Structures are given as structure tokens and as C-alpha cells.
Chains A and B, each alone.
Chain A
Amino acid sequence: MSTGLNDNELISRVLKGDQQAYAGLVNRYQNYVFTLSMRFTRNREDAEEVSQDIFVKAYRALADFRGASKFSTWLYTIVNTTCITFLRKKRLEVHSLDNEKVFEVADSIDSGMRANLVEQKSRLSMVHNAIEMLNPDDAEVLTLFYKAEQTLEEIAVILGIEANTAKVRLHRARTRLKEKMEKHFAEELKDLN
């Protein structure tokens, strides 16, 4: 089985013609890619379709992976561009939204979700729902840093920005998450303390 091999060994096998070795990479990264896609699409069907598209694109372009960065960093760059393209197609215009509009979008999501949140009081669902209330850019940077274990430098490469800008974005995202939790989950936070 190819599961014991590291990323570069699996890639080497795939490039030599062992197509099945690619399943090892898909299994290893599908949850990360799917979670990141969910941050943008906000529904499972679209996220699954986008994630599949991402793995197909990565396979097609695998010969271009030079090993200068981690495979995950290279893969998340494809995730970022594919998700942005998806959003553009959906006319959500994430990148051109100013802060006011971002909050308008987030608040509209808030009001829609509130009814479902009453019963979801667990620690995990609280954070999960608070992340969903954020705009995709903030949710993405938090997921890359905390779940996908990417450094600020790697996040900068993925997003095509400077490391300092990535740091500012991460800080801003954490601040907004904290604000969302304090606004919508004050009771749950009290229970935790």
C-alpha cells in the first residue's frame, strides 16, 4: 500500500505512471481541501464538486510541482485559486467587497443561522458556526493556520501576499471570530469559563 509513503514518494510514483498512488494523496488531503472549500462555498454539494475539481487540477499539473515548497502548500494554492474562481462565477465578489459589505454578508448569514444555533451548544459546534459566520477570506486564513498547519510564510505563498499581510489578516480574522463568539455565543462562552 502507498499509505506509508511520504508526499514526495507518492508524487514520484504518480509521475512514473502509477496512477493509483494518487489515491494516497487524495486520502491524505481530502478533509483539508474539503474544509477549505466549505469555507468558500458554504454548502457540501458545491464543496465536494470544487474539491474534486481541485484534485483533478492538481493531478494534471503534478509535473509542475518542483518540491520547492511542501506539497500541501502547493495544493492549497490550487484550492485558493479554484475557490476564488468558483466565487467569481457565483458573483459573490469576495475580493472586491469592502469591509462594510463583508459584514453585511456575514450578518445576513448570522440571521439565517440563528434559529439553528439555539440547540447547538457544544464547544465544537460553537466555534464551527462562528467560523461559518466569518467572510471566506477570514475563515480560510484561520483554517490554513490552525488546521492545515501552514506557517505565515506558507499562507503568504498560498494567498499570493506578503508574510506581513498574512499576519495582519490572521490577526484580523481572530479578532472577528472572537467578536462573533462574544456576540452570538456569550452564554456558551460563560459556560466554558
Chain B
Amino acid sequence: MSKQQTSDERLWDYIDGTSSPQDKTVIEQLIQSDVEWKTKYHELLEVQQLLQSTELDAPSMRFTKNVMEEIAKLHIAPATRNYINKRIIWGIAAFFITIIVGFLVYGVGQVDWTVKSDSKLPVDLTTIDFRKVDYSKMFNNNLVNGFMMLNVILGLFLLDRYLANKRKKFREEA
């Protein structure tokens, strides 16, 4: 089945004119020497010709008139590039970046960095007992909790979108 599909795909590429020069030569030789390939080629060529011979459907005679009557009541909307001010977008981005940086600075500021008196500087991370770090100071604020919750929700949205795209891609390739 997969061999069949591969030969079909290669023949369609050949018919569409999208084969590489090397593949084109190989396929031409196969069509001339192999009866199976020759038969398949003529079958696909027939489908191609049938598809090209189809005619377009036409709407009613009044179609253009109907559209023109409809648009007569309307105006062309201004181009989005004209009314979307990039400064506003950059401003919103700067606002959120400032908030995130602010929270990070605040969070780091709340950490109790004091270590045992016998420790030396620079701080050796292996000597820090992370179990003794008081995280409650960092996350006892409602605002911080709300912010973290928002981030978790946005993260889930992002994950959902990523998985949906992967699923869609997988279905298309199947």
C-alpha cells in the first residue's frame, strides 16, 4: 500500500511538473520500461484531464447587481494598519513586562537569603538548605496569588493551543 502511495505521489509530482530533474528522468524511464507504471501514469493523467475539463458553476444573472446594491449602502473600512497605533501595542507590552519584572523583583526581595553564620561568601549553593527557605513570605500575598493563578491559566491555554495544533497536524498527515 505504501509502495503504491509512493508511486502515485511521484507520478502526481511528475504530472504537476514539481518533480526534481533526477526524479523526472527516473520516472520517464519507469513509464517507458515498466507496464505497471505506464498504466498507472495513464490512469492519473486521465484523472488530471478530467479535473481540468470541469466547468465552473455560475451564480444567477442578477448576482453582480445584487452585490453592487449591497455595497452601495457601505463604505470601505479604513485599513487596519492606519488605525492600529504601534505605540499603543508597544505601550501595552511594556506595561506587562514592567509588571512581570516588578513581581519578580518583589518575589526575590521577599526571600530570606540569610544563611548560617559560619558560611563563607560567595554563597555556596550546596550549603543552602532549601527546605528551610520560608516560601510562605513569597506567596502569602493575594495579589501575588492572583497573578500566579492568571499565569497558570494562560499557560494552560497555551498548552491547549499547542496540543490542538499538533492534533490537527497529525490528522492532516494521517
In the complex, residue of chain B having the shortest beta-carbon distance to the beta carbon of A182? B43
B54–A165 CB distance below 8 A: no
Chain A positions within 8 Å of B47 at CB level = 174, 177-178, 181
A123–B76 CB distance below 8 A: no
What separation, in Å, do the CA atoms of A38 and B56 have in the docked complex? 10
* Contact partner, A60, options B9, B46, B76, Cβ 8 Å: B76
* Contact partner, A20, options B68, B172, B173, Cβ 8 Å: B68
Tally of contact residues, A, Cβ under 8 A:
53
Chain B positions within 8 Å of A142 at CB level = 51
Chain B 62-75, CB within 8 Å of chain A: the 1/0 string? Answer: 01101110111010
* Contact partner, A165, options B12, B50, B66, B173, Cβ 8 Å: B173
Shortest Cβ-Cβ A-B pairs, 10 listed = A63-B79, A31-B56, A34-B59, A146-B51, A35-B57, A55-B67, A35-B56, A127-B50, A59-B71, A26-B64
Give A residues with C-beta under 8 Å from B.
Answer: 14-15, 19-20, 22-23, 26-27, 30-32, 34-35, 38, 44, 47-48, 51-52, 55-56, 59-64, 95, 98-99, 123-124, 126-128, 131, 142, 146-147, 152, 161, 165, 168-169, 171, 174-175, 177-178, 181, 189, 192-193
